[in-house]
Structure 1
């Protein structure tokens, strides 16, 4: 059973998946920082710093007037936090756009490298095996 497990782990697909997950986790920190530290502040300049996170409806319970979403939750009220959901959707769309642009850039670089390889002139090839056999046959005929 240990040998089967070792063979399973050593397969290329499992190792590729593990590397992908590790790189993906590291990449998540980069994309999150890009969105939170660079893109959202720029969007905030154009929208006047609008943040929907604290928009909610109180379904039941007592909440002081003007309380934030966190304060309402701490008070034990049941809240319909539509603002937090809306901000999560907006952040998802921004992250998806950033990832799309990164993948598009990587694909462009890959395509350029592939075209560069295709453009390399091939070394002249000698006659094929069939051509050589035909020449030998013709040479033997003429003897």
Structure 2
């Protein structure tokens, strides 16, 4: 039970829960925007005589065979709007805030370790300097 409690109390789980709630509210907002503003424009592209909007029926007498391009276009627009807002409102500011916090804390990017051969050559150089402090050529 302690492991489960630690898992639930982690910041990541709380952040995820908040994200799901905000995502649900945001999805409702974008859906209302697309249904009430974008869909009428897309339906108008289907022509004035078309009641269904931008699409066609495979069989005229069967309503179930209606291929609705407008719904697909609306879904794509909904996705693009949602992705753009999530990126520009949530992801980008959080990334900048994290970078600023890291700079304030003095966190620097880890320096890559030098390759082993460079380390060995540096050690040899240092040993040669200690054997011949005048800087001349070492006697072989």
TM-score (norm: length of structure 2): 0.49
Higher relative contact order (CA 8 A, sep 6+): 1
TM-score (norm: length of structure 1): 0.49
